[in-house]
Amino acid sequence: MIAPLAFGVLIIIGWPFLDTLWLSLTSAQLTQYTGPFVGLDNFVRAFHSPQVREALQTTIIFVAITVTAEVVLGVLIALLLDQPLYGRNVFRALLILPWALPTVVNAMSWRLIYNPDFGGLNALLTQIGLIDSYQSWIGSPSTALYAIAVADVWKTVPLVAMITLAALQGVSRELLEAARIDGASAWARFRVVTLPAILGPLTVAAVLRTIEGVKVFDLIWVMTRGGPVNSTKTMSIQVYQEAFANFRAGSGAAQGLLIVLVSMIMINVYIALLRRQASQ
């Protein structure tokens, strides 16, 4: 009974992956899809390329910042909305709006917010006295990546919060009340009762966000196109430039497979961290 589904997965996922793997072992050009076999030369050049190493470092920093912030904020928001607050259902409905916003619209909105001439962020920070003059948040190499990370967190925190909120509905209220009566603090109740119950869905949310963070393209491309001075050029943008701007399809395929490898490594790191937190 699962044979048709397995065959569909093999065709939709397996064949393109194998085709990309073969392409990465050739010197194919974008204008000539077939090329001579070069073995692992594309991977060796990628590992020795300063541009690839810089893009890989930027990707890891971006993912570490965004996924950590999204998980922490998502859990806090979910815990808040799980309380018997007045208008709780309205807040739950409003929570999903940033995530439902198209990524391009989100990127354009944050570009306006960060605008160095009339941006709302500069106006707010100037009025409350935190800065003396308007700053170019996405025009400076020292702040551009963090500014984009804020835009990504704002959009995707609702997804983590909704997944966590759904998981909270299955937490035993009797266990929480018994722990409270026994004198357990709020943190102890969360660590011992709540966190183990929501760890599975929370891990799924972290894995999904890690995958999306590693291969993020549209948000960064619309906001900075990888600049300034390549300070926001992640692996996805590096692959795009290698394959479609430099017309080196084989090399671009090899670098694209590096994104898969980075995703697998970071996913396992997050799973290990979450499991360790639950066991403490």
Q: Express each pLDDT in 127-147 by its tens digit.
A: 998 888 888 999 999 999 999
**Quick one: pLDDT band at residue 19, thresholds 50, 70, 90?**
confident
Q: Is 112 exposed, middle or buried (0-12, 13-18, 19+ CB in 10 A)?
A: exposed
Q: What is the pLDDT of the chain when averaged over all its residues?
A: 88
**Quick one: pLDDT band at residue 73, thresholds 50, 70, 90?**
very high
Can you tell me the distance from the alpha carbon of 46 to that of 234, in angstroms, rounded to the nearest whole number?
14
Handedness of CA 256, 141, 229, 133 (dihedral sign): positive
**Quick one: pLDDT band at residue 58, thresholds 50, 70, 90?**
very high
* Span 97-136, pLDDT tens digits: 888 889 999 999 999 999 988 889 999 999 998 888 888 9
The mean per-residue pLDDT over the stretch 245-262 comes to 88
pLDDT at 278 over 90: no
pLDDT at 86: 80
Q: Which of 147-156, 168-177, 238-247 is the least confident region?
A: 168-177
**Quick one: pLDDT band at residue 237, thresholds 50, 70, 90?**
very high
pLDDT at 217 over 70: yes
Q: pTM value?
A: 0.87
Complete domains list, the chain, with CATH: 51-172+202-279 (1.10.3720.10)
**Quick one: pLDDT band at residue 197, thresholds 50, 70, 90?**
confident
pLDDT at 38: 86
Burial 206-216 (b: 16+ CB within 10 A, else e): bbbbbbbbbbb
